[in-house]
């Protein structure tokens, strides 16, 4: 029931255009997977892209396939959260958890765009559900095999999550004895090789993969506390607090009040809280100490917070009803409680409107053989990758270097027609008219250092 309801309320709000640079990269990678050219970005997300490729067999549109994958994962997250909450704290708590996860603006928004965080959250919650049930049953051999497969599946969908999920995974398997723990570790490693080997082979081998990871780490260093210092650390904390608030809203406030009133409840559920602590603490530490610069980065541990809140408010059904009403109002844009975070249906609708209008205007006004489309930099919400995907018949140029790529591509410009990407030394429009893509809120001055006077004379701005 929870799955069906969650699925039904997500279907009408699906994004039509690639919301983020990463969305377009994933969609392009379905047709041509190669980390050397940033399809997708590192560390690879191999199983996520392959799952999208499988769905695409039936849908026939790579971006739409990934969006449908998110829709299904968002509904599955609500259902697995319901099952896990019920296993931990009782049937009523499970239903309250399902209601929170089905309507949370954070989860709802992430279910409507082609990003892998909601798929990751669903798999993490499924792993936690299997782990808790295994703890209660003593850990059978099939359950050990299942936990190993799930950890490898999480790693293949989003590699960053597996190391911070490992503590709760080890916490559970260690209870089953050394033999089962060793088997679980060995099987998890073997299952990971099933996706890691083909991922590396399609990207130039292990040496190339290591170089790409190193380059990405160097570029991302300023986004971490050890590269950016205290401001980044406090930025991580602020983003985590804002994202969790937007995910829980009234549920978080009501749960806090119930917790103060019912301290005995903590004593009665020490084992469950210890389990949730092993789940949340490592992921939270990673988010604070490494990076959290998007709301959906908290989704790998947010379900545990939703379960805790659901357990606390489930004793009063009016609270659950109020939570559903407020969550729905925030996502649908009827009230502004999201602290300005882009997690509403209006965000998706407006981005689709603006990007779609630009794409259709270019198609209507220009023939592909008469123009080249130019991008000044790698803008996330209005960038080269979105236009490469949505205007495959046109020649797109990125007039900036990407130091994350392996040499010599890190010092070249990008030229793409469809999924075919070439790296060139100089901008060569071949006498064709230039169409300059200017993201919302910026001006054509972003091209001032990238074009000469003759090229400016043939340029037209597209917003």
Residue 167: how many CB atoms within 10 A of its CB? 16
The two tokens of residue 406 are 């392996």
The CA distances from residue 344 to 11, 62, 73, 124, 191, in Å, are: 14, 23, 18, 24, 37
Coil, strand, or helix at residue 202?
coil
Q: Are strands 420-424 and 413-417 parallel, antiparallel or unpaired?
A: antiparallel
Coil, strand, or helix at residue 416?
strand
pLDDT at 250: 95
Direct distance between the N- and C-terminal alpha carbons of the chain, in angstroms, rounded to an integer: 44
The two tokens of residue 197 are 């080997």
Residue 419 pLDDT > 80: no
What DSSP string describes 418-436? Answer: TTEEEEESS---TTPEEEE
- CA 269 to centroid of chain Cα atoms: 32
Residue 8 pLDDT > 80: yes
pLDDT at 56: 98
In sequence order, what are the residues at sequence separation of 6 or more whose Cβ sits closer than 8 angstroms to the Cβ of residue 57? Answer: none
Say how far apart CA 71 and CA 75 lie, in whole Å: 6
The two tokens of residue 160 are 């960053």
Say how far apart CA 95 and CA 101 lie, in whole Å: 10
Residue 77 pLDDT > 90: yes
Say how far apart CA 74 and CA 103 lie, in whole Å: 10
Q: Label residue 193 by pLDDT band (50, 70, 90).
A: very high
Mean pLDDT of 285-313: 96
Q: Label residue 357 by pLDDT band (50, 70, 90).
A: very high
Residue 263 pLDDT > 80: no
Find the helix packing angle between 230-248 and 250-261, rounded to 10°. 90
Please calculate the CA angle 295-437-401 and round it to the nearest 5 degrees.
75
pLDDT, tens only, 17-28: 999 999 999 999
Say how far apart CA 298 and CA 117 lie, in whole Å: 9
Is the distance from CB of 125 to CB of 77 less than 8 angstroms? yes
Is the distance from CB of 232 to CB of 223 less than 8 angstroms? yes
pTM reported for the whole predicted model:
0.95
Percentage with pLDDT > 70 across the chain: 100
Say how far apart CA 289 and CA 226 lie, in whole Å: 8
């Amino acid at each position: 029931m929870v799955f069906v309801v969650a699925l039904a309320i997500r279907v009408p709000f699906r994004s039509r255009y690639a919301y983020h640079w990463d969305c377009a990269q994933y969609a392009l990678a379905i047709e041509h997977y190669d980390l050397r050219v940033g399809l997708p970005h590192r560390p690879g997300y191999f199983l996520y892209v392959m799952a999208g490729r499988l769905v695409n067999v039936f849908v026939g549109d790579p971006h739409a396939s990934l969006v449908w994958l998110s829709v299904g994962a968002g509904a599955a997250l609500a259902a697995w959260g319901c099952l896990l909450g019920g296993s931990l704290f009782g049937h009523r708590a499970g239903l309250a958890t399902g209601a929170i996860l089905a309507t949370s603006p954070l989860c709802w928004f992430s279910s409507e765009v082609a990003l892998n965080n909601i798929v990751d959250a669903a798999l993490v919650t499924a792993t936690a559900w299997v782990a808790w049930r295994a703890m209660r049953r003593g850990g059978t051999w099939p359950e050990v095999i299942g936990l190993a497969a799930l950890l490898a599946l999480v790693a293949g969908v989003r590699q960053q999550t597996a190391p911070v999920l490992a503590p709760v995974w080890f916490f559970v398997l260690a209870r089953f004895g050394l033999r089962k723990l060793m088997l679980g570790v060995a099987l998890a490693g073997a299952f990971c090789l099933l996706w890691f080997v083909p991922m590396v082979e399609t990207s130039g081998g292990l040496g190339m993969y290591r170089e790409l990871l190193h380059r990405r780490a160097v570029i991302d260093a300023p986004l971490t506390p050890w590269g950016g210092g205290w401001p980044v650390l406090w930025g991580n904390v602020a983003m985590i607090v804002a994202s969790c608030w937007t995910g829980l809203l009234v549920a978080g406030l009501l749960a806090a009040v119930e917790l103060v009133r019912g301290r005995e409840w903590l004593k009665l559920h020490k084992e469950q809280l210890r389990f949730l602590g092993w789940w949340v603490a490592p992921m939270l530490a990673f988010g604070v100490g490494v990076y959290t610069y998007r709301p959906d980065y908290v989704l790998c541990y947010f379900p545990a917070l939703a379960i805790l809140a659901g357990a606390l408010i489930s004793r009063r059904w009016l609270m659950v009803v109020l939570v559903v009403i407020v969550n729905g109002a925030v996502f649908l844009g009827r009230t502004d409680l999201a602290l300005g975070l882009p997690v509403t249906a209006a965000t998706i609708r407006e981005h689709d409107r603006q990007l779609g209008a630009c794409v259709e205007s270019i198609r209507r006004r220009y023939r592909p053989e008469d123009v080249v489309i130019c991008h000044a930099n790698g803008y996330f919400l209005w960038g080269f990758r979105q236009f490469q995907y949505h205007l495959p018949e046109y020649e797109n140029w990125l007039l900036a270097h990407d130091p994350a790529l392996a040499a010599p591509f890190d010092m070249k410009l990008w030229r793409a027609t469809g999924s075919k990407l070439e790296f060139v030394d100089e901008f060569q429009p071949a006498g064709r008219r230039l169409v300059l893509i200017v993201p919302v809120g910026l001006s054509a001055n972003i091209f001032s250092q990238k074009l000469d006077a003759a090229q400016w004379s043939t340029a037209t701005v597209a917003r």
